[in-house]
Amino acid sequence: MILFIYFELLIIYSNFFNYIITIITIIAIITIITITIITITIITITIINFELKWQNKIRRKNL
C-alpha cells in the first residue's frame, strides 16, 4: 500500500516536473527568438548607418 502511494506521488510529481520543463523550454525558445530578432535588427541598423555615412562621404567628395 505504501509502495502504491509512493508510485502515485512519483507519477504526479513527474507530470508536474514535465510541465515545468515544458514551460522552461518554451520560455527559452521565445527568449532565443527575441534575442535573434534584436541582434538582426541591431546589425541591420549598423549596416544602414554605415551605408549612409559612406554615401555622405562620397557626396562631399563630389561637391
pLDDT tens string 18-35:
889 999 999 999 999 999
Q: Where are the alpha helices (DSSP H) in 1-63?
A: 2-62
Model pTM score: 0.62
Domain ranges of the chain: 14-58
Grid cell, residue 61, equals: 567628395
Q: Identify the pLDDT of residue 36.
A: 97
In degrees, to the nearest 5, what angle opens at C-alpha 37 toward C-alphas 47 and 31? 145
